[in-house]
Amino acid sequence: MSITTPISQENIVVGEVANGLPLTIPVYRLKGNGSGPSVYIQANMHGAEVQGNAVIFQLLEQLKQLNLKGDITLVPYANPIGCNQKSGEFTLGRFDPITGTNWNRMYHYNNNLVTQFAKDHSQYDDAALKNNFKQALIDEIDTKLNGPAYLLNTGKRIALNLQKLAHQADIVLDLHTGPISSKHLYCPTYATDSARYFNIEHVLLIPSDFDGAMDEASFCPWWHLSDALGAQGRDFNVQVEAFTVELGSQEKIDLTEALNDANSILSYLNHKNVLEDAPHKPSNITRYACHLDDYFAYYAPIGGMVEYVAPLGGHIKAGEPIAHVLRMERYLSEQPLQTLSLDCDAIAILHFASASVNQGTELYKFFTNVFEL
């Protein structure tokens, strides 16, 4: 018997541009049999980070041939403004071009809701707690979306529409890329074990702070609820897992790598019991982790033209060259070619997308104090 799960499409309206045309986002849905956790996956919230759309393509191509235990919702092109914001050849959609606000810092979180909920619902059993809290989160988003339109800015409206979809799921994956980058995973510390099921060598362990991003907006309420109930002496696991999956470099579509990344995600989903009789298993690779506090941004100490020489994903020793900076303005008056290095061992995760850097441009990000996962 051939297995196929039907896919449905809905286009949701998340805003209007100046000539009055609606901003829409396509939402694809596959139904599970209800026995597994539900999943929400989105891509391309930042305009230049397009590879996630290809991963969603490869996921759909495989998912339609599988039976599912949990429902899966997939949203490519999550940000219709960011996707289409060009300046020169490149896509500028990392922040709202009007305000500068990072599109991935506009999700909503209300800590008071959590505190109050923990106080009011401690008598509920686990299942009721979960259902009621999930509904409370969705209701709060709905209240904002249905409130006066003049209270919501452009990015908030997009973010809330996506967050409403995400809150309905037990597993949330936000597909991003770095500028020029190796693959890496933002993983909340409580879900460290799950990181072993993705085929991603570098794992960044993040705490329970809320800084506006989709992954945080998805796990913070549940994590803080777990903490609040814990403070009351009740053991209530964090019910939702959420990750930001960094797929590599921006401004690039690679369908073969997208298939690899789809398989990596399916391996994780299989582990989480979303798929029925699926073969997907994690690769046998060494995974390196560091804590967010040890994720080190190295800013250009001088302005100039940069040759990046640290291999991405590579282990760099203190003192090894990470970049050469060419300063042709001063060819005669000083050494025109300067070599940069680090004071400590590190893994180079990503570097700036352009060779032209001002003093103070973020040149590299490094894992430091690395340990095997």
Site for its own copies in 314-343 (CB under 8 A): 324, 326-333, 336-337, 340
Question: CB of residue 264 vs its own copies: minimum separation in angstroms?
Answer: 19
Question: Between the CA of residue 120 and those of 3, 113, 126, 230, what are the distances in Å?
Answer: 45, 10, 14, 15
212 binds its own copies (CB under 8 A): no
Query: Which residues lie below 8 Å from residue 258, measured CB to CB, with a gap of 6+?
Result: 51, 54, 55, 57, 58
Residue 293 interacts with its own copies (CB under 8 A): yes or no = no
Closer to its own copies by CB, 95 or 117: give it: 95
Instruction: Indicate whether 210 belongs to the interface with its own copies (CB under 8 A).
Output: no
Least Cβ distance, residue 150 to its own copies (angstroms): 5
Q: What is d(CA 31, CA 69) in angstroms, rounded to the nearest whole number?
A: 8
Q: Among residues 41, 60, 316, 350, which is the contact residue for its own copies, using CB under 8 A? A: 60
Per DSSP, 255 falls in state H
Q: Is 255 among the residues that bind its own copies (CB under 8 A)?
A: yes
Residues 187 to 206 in contact with its own copies, rule: CB under 8 A: none
Q: How far is the CB of 307 from its own copies (least distance, A)?
A: 4
What is the spatial distance between Cα 193 and Cα 372, in angstroms, rounded to a whole number?
12
Q: At what angle do helices 111-120 and 214-231 cross, to 10 degrees?
A: 30
Q: Which of residues 87-146 bind its own copies (CB under 8 A)?
A: 87-92, 94-102
Cα–Cα nearest to 238, from 30, 37, 72: 37
Instruction: Choose the binding region for its own copies from 113-121, 132-140, 219-227, 253-261 (rule: CB under 8 A).
Output: 253-261
CA 267 to chain centre: 18
Q: Which of 41, 45, 48, 238 binds its own copies (CB under 8 A)?
A: 48
- Which positions ≥6 away from 107 have C-beta within 8 Å? 159, 160, 162, 163, 212, 213, 214, 216, 217
CA dist., res. 287 & res. 181, Å (int): 16
Min CB(308)–its own copies separation in Å:
8
Contact call for residue 370 and its own copies (CB under 8 A): no
- CB closer to its own copies out of 28 and 222: 28
Query: According to the binding rule CB under 8 A, does residue 19 interact with its own copies?
Result: yes
Residue of 259, 353, 370, 373 that binds its own copies (CB under 8 A): 353
Binding span for its own copies by CB under 8 A among 192-200, 207-215, 216-224, 352-360: 352-360
Q: Which of 63, 83, 238, 240 binds its own copies (CB under 8 A)?
A: 83
Task: Decide: helix, strand or coil at residue 137.
Answer: helix
Name the amino acid, one letter, at 273: N
